[in-house]
Amino acid sequence: MTDLLEETIAAHGGRQRWAQLSSITTHARWSGTFWALKQQPGLFSGIDMTAELHTQRVSITPFVHDRWRGVFERDGVRIENAGGEIEEERGNPRASFTGHEVRTPWDHLHALYFGGYTMWTYLTVPFVFHEPGFTVTEGEPWTEHGQTWRRLQVTFPETIATHNAEQVFYVDTDGLIKRHDYTAEVVGGGLVSHYLHGHKEFDGIVFPTLRQVFPRQPDNQAATELMFIQIEFDRYTLS
């Protein structure tokens, strides 16, 4: 582990506070051109998402219909109706993306898997980097819009469902993550730059209140004229 990782964890609330938690619930509104491409507009336009922090599990309500729930787990996704009965489910969901490109339409279970693993990743970073199997090193700094950010280069273990194994996190002088680069494998391998804004403290842990996702060009610059996804957060509830 690196000194930069320790500084980043401290800036986001610290390991001691994180160790006291078991789950996080947030209310989110997703928008952007990506969902129209996937033929799932409005699916995540106003939802509550609860992530368990020490295992990969996320529940999303409402999902598809009022009072229905989507449940993501690393090895399976399912949609439950208001009575708790399973309406749809899929084991080994990652395999269902084989051959997909950015314009390949998704069904509800594709979207659930993507939304579940992305939010679990976003809610647990940077604390999860101390879990077994993660490799973290500090890369060369990066200057953007007059700011110099240090970079954490992170290799995720195969046991974690996420965008791809190798990801980069850009940290400002306050220790806050301001940018996150990855390759979206389930979308055909597109390069992505993901910006984090409006950091606020919620019950001892610091989270962004706005996330914006753009294509990343070969020169490592974000193509900010095309916003794939925007996620706005009203609140975070920790338990």
The predicted model gives 54-70 an average pLDDT of 97
What does the pLDDT read at residue 85?
Answer: 98
- Rounded-to-integer distance, Cα 84 and Cα 109, Å: 17
- Report whether 87 contacts 81 (CB < 8 A): yes
Size of the chain, expressed as the number of residues it contains = 239
CATH, domain range 3-238: 2.50.20.10
What does the pLDDT read at residue 2?
Answer: 80
The predicted model gives 158-179 an average pLDDT of 98
pLDDT above 80 (res 1): no
Encode pLDDT of 85-129 as tens digits: 999 999 999 999 999 999 999 999 999 999 999 999 999 999 999
What's the one-letter identity of residue 217?
A: Q
Dihedral angle over CA of 227, 210, 182, 47, nearest 10: -90
Encode pLDDT of 182-233 as tens digits: 999 999 998 999 999 999 999 999 999 999 999 999 999 999 999 999 999 9
Residue 134 half-sphere exposure toward CB, CA atoms < 13 A: 22
Measured over the CA atoms of residue 163, residue 188, residue 33 and residue 110, the dihedral's sign is negative
What does the pLDDT read at residue 190?
Answer: 87
pTM: 0.97
Q: What does pLDDT average to over the chain?
A: 97
DSSP state of 216: B
